[in-house]
């Protein structure tokens, strides 16, 4: 039960960390009776999503006040398709599994609030899970970075130290250590089930198994132009929003080599979602202009909400958005005009892609697949 709230910011807008705590800055609790000298982060180990025994072992090893609540983490998260390891990863980053003194005092291991006080850690767990289900995944926020932009917004008034900028990286690192794939939505229906860890769980010999990276391929980068194949609506997600729109003079936004892989690592398009597609390839693949048009830098809000760094604005008004690139080709800047297939730069291995028409979000997935079918597809919600 929530006992009291102090200057509560609605969680549909933001939820900031208590006192700006992060694992890098927090100290182990000095509360009397807590004798553990184990860093809570060091207690993390790879765990199968529903293994309450190993969850409990992690919490006990860390001398976490959440100990005894592993079954609450697993049962409440799985009931709404959230990976329980993601819940633990947030608590690990925010308050070192609740061992940070101020968080322990108010039974709030997730940094909810600011200043939210709970009767027990179990109450905080249920509240955090419900908030994520309704106000984050329910609003179409799927990736850890999208969730972090709302949970711990950079530049928030109650984050004077600027620690929120480390939220996505910190939570992703903890989630990876626990065996999750931080590049995919932290949902049970998306993450691998039970194949993440090797060894005997009871012996504590668990270790993450990284998925095979996309193949780079051989030969020169290939530009693939849409040849008129009719897009088909994807068999998942919100059918009403998955419109089979097309664009004349459209090319796949990545120039992948022969036998190189392009994966649809994540895609979401619904009434409240950002309606973007995340493409995954080997690092260093060339991003190209998917159409003729003028480059326009994204706004700060678009960078936060959509993960888009710049747009190609076509003469007909359609806008194609690209996430940040690892490097940019000469002459690629705000206001420059590019032609179909022109090199824009190279990727980090992932590229966010968006499409807007007359201000409305268009799902780019059907047209992308009609242009270049995925060589390896990861299930997405």
What mean pLDDT is predicted for residues 76-97? 94
pLDDT category of residue 268 using cuts at 50, 70 and 90 = low
Determine the pLDDT at residue 12: 29
Does this model's pTM top 0.75? My answer is: no
Task: Classify domain 218-371 by CATH architecture.
Answer: Distorted Sandwich (2.70)
Question: Which of 232-236, 243-247, 328-332, 372-376: highest mean pLDDT?
Answer: 328-332
What mean pLDDT is predicted for residues 319-335? 93
All structural domains of the chain with their residue ranges: 2-203, 218-371
pLDDT at 286 over 50: yes
Determine the pLDDT at residue 7: 26
What mean pLDDT is predicted for residues 337-343? 96
Determine the pLDDT at residue 35: 33
Alpha carbon separation from 187 to 131, 134, 193 (Å, rounded): 15, 14, 11
Determine the pLDDT at residue 271: 52
pLDDT at 193 over 60: no
pLDDT category of residue 40 using cuts at 50, 70 and 90 = confident
What share of the chain in percent tops pLDDT 70? 77
Lowest-pLDDT choice from 174-178, 264-268, 270-274, 315-319: 270-274
What mean pLDDT is predicted for residues 151-172? 80
């Amino acid at each position: 039960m929530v006992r009291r709230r102090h200057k509560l910011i609605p969680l549909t807008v933001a939820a900031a960390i208590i006192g700006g705590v992060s694992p890098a800055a927090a100290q182990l609790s000095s509360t009397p009776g807590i004798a553990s000298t184990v860093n809570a982060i060091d207690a993390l180990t790879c765990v199968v999503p529903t293994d309450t025994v190993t969850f409990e072992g992690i919490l006990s090893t860390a001398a976490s006040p959440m100990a005894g609540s592993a079954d609450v983490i697993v049962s409440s998260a799985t009931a709404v398709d959230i990976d329980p390891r993601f819940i633990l990863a947030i608590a690990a980053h925010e308050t070192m599994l609740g061992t940070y003194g101020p968080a322990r005092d108010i039974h709030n291991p997730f940094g909810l609030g600011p200043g939210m006080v709970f009767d027990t850690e179990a109450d905080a767990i249920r509240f955090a899970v419900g908030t994520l289900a309704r106000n984050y995944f329910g609003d179409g926020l799927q990736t850890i970075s999208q969730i972090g932009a709302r949970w711990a917004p950079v530049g928030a008034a109650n984050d004077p130290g600027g620690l929120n900028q480390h939220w996505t990286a910190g939570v992703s690192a903890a989630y990876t250590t626990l065996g999750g794939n931080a590049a995919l939505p932290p949902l049970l229906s998306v993450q691998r089930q039970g194949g993440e860890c090797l060894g005997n769980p009871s012996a504590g010999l668990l270790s993450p198994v990284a998925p095979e990276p996309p193949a780079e391929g051989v030969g020169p980068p290939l530009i693939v132009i849409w040849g008129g194949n009719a897009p088909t609506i994807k068999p998942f997600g919100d059918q009403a929003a998955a419109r089979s729109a097309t664009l004349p003079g459209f090319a796949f936004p990545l120039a992948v080599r022969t036998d190189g892989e392009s994966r649809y690592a994540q895609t979401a398009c619904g009434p409240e979602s950002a309606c973007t597609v995340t493409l995954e390839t080997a690092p260093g693949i060339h991003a190209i202009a998917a159409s003729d048009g003028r480059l326009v830098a994204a706004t700060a809000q678009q960078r936060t909400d959509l993960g888009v760094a710049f747009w190609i604005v076509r003469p007909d008004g359609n806008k194609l958005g690209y996430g940040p690139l690892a490097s940019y080709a000469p002459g690629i800047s705000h206001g420059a005009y590019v032609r179909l297939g022109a090199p824009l730069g190279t990727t980090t291995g992932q590229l966010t892609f968006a499409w807007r028409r007359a201000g409305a979000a268009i799902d780019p997935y059907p047209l992308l697949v009609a242009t270049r079918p995925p060589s390896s597809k990861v299930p997405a919600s």
